[in-house]
Homo-oligomer: A and B are copies of this chain.
């Protein structure tokens, strides 16, 4: 799949996220792309990303829900109000339901849909499937990046990602 991901278009100084920043070499590098009416990311956990042996760690699944949801918000905002350019969202709250244990060793499919986009706020629903079986359901509230979290590249940063 060669199409650009939402995260490929995040500005450089907003691309250090551990979950999805293309400039964070040790991170997860989650990539979210449109497929028909849903946004989809595909991710294969590392062998060490376990909870109990054989199953995927819940914190990793929460991370996939989180970053993918924020990409869904950016995508929805880009289409609803393209004149604003790329809008970067950050998570205000995250809700994850582990419907069944998620097997490790298969590629996961993370599917997200915008539920609400109003001003600075976005609500996104996410599902994670393993081998076509839904294992995780999430709901994420994001807000457009607040000024307090943004340090342009020419301002000093104490801990670059």
* Chain A residues close to B by CB (< 8 Å): 13-14, 16-19, 21, 24, 26-27, 47-55, 57-60, 62-64, 66-67, 90-98, 101, 104-105, 145-146, 148-151, 157-161
Contact = CB atoms under 8 A, between A and B. Distances in A.
Number of copies: 2
27 contacts: A16-B50, A18-B50, A18-B51, A18-B60, A24-B50, A47-B159, A47-B161, A52-B145, A53-B151, A53-B157, A53-B160, A54-B151, A54-B157, A55-B149, A57-B63, A58-B94, A59-B60, A59-B66, A59-B67, A60-B63, A62-B62, A62-B66, A90-B101, A91-B98, A101-B149, A105-B158, A105-B159
B161 A50 contact: yes
Contacts of A18: 48-51, 57, 59-60
Contact of A47 (B55, B96, B160): B160
Contacts of A93: 95-98
Contacts of A27: 48
The DSSP consensus for interface residues of chain A is loop
Contacts of A160: 47, 50, 53
Contacts of A98: 90-94
Contacts of A148: 101
A18 to B, nearest CB: 4
